[in-house]
Each structure stands twice: as C-alpha cells, then as structure tokens.
Amino acid sequence: MPHTDTHSKLFGYLLWIFGFLGSHRFYYGKPITGTIWFFTLGLFLIGWIIDLFLIPGMDREADFRFRSGDTSYNISWLLLTFLGVFGVHRMYMGKWISGVIYLLTGGLFLLGVLYDFWTLNDQVSEQNASPVQ
C-alpha cells in the first residue's frame, strides 16, 4: 500500500497543547497511553513534554497504519473533540442513526464519546476502505 498522509503534524501539535489530557495520543491511535496521559496529566507533564519531540514519529506511524480516503481524520477528530456529545462526527461519517442517538442522549451518556476516542481512527479507516461512501 502506498504511503498516504492520513494525519497532520500541525493538527497533532495543536492537540499537543491539550496533550496533558492525552488528546494527541488518541489522535495518533494510541488510546492506552492517551488514557494514561488523561489520568496522570501527561505522565506528570514529563511525558507531555517528551511528546513534543515524538509527534513526528507518531505522525509517520499513523500515516502507515490507517487508510486514507474521502473521510478526513482531521475533520472527524475535530468534530469528536468539540461536538462529540452531539454525534456530529458520526453524522459526518454517514452514521446517521447513531449520530441522532448521540444527539438525543448526550453522546450515549458520554460512554459513546469515550468509546469513539478509543476507536475513531479505526472507524474512519473502515469507512475509507468501504467501496460505497
């Protein structure tokens, strides 16, 4: 598979500003360490500072790991981060039923939003792999 630019270093660095909450790690497909960063404030800020230098490598790894296509990772993550409880990111991906459910239930009582933080990259990758979008 040819190398594609699925994730943005610029977007990764913007999320790094809030990285002590793990946002950039979730974006680059590292949900376990993203969760650890969330609960430890970026591994007591030390891991957060080190990540400033690790982002280019995380970006390269994400570009090889995830499939590019019509559905943008950046737009999906932006919508999830700021409008996740309203399901807008799901509607963007064409998942209208679950998007409306999120809209009516506060992101399925926030548990759905948490699930999407763990799985959004894979969801977008699957969406981009499907023949009909």
What residue spans define the domains of the chain? Answer: 9-65, 73-129
Dump pLDDT digits (tens) for 9-18.
999 999 999 8
Dump pLDDT digits (tens) for 105-128.
999 999 999 999 999 999 999 999
pLDDT of residue 19: 80
Residue 3: pLDDT band (50, 70, 90) is: low
Dump pLDDT digits (tens) for 47-98.
999 999 999 999 999 999 999 999 999 999 999 999 999 999 999 999 999 9
* pTM exceeding 0.75: yes
Q: Could you write out the three-class secondary structure of 28-84?
A: CCCHHHHHHHHHHHHHHCHHHHHHHHHHHHHHHHHHHHCCCCCCCHHHHHHHHHHHH
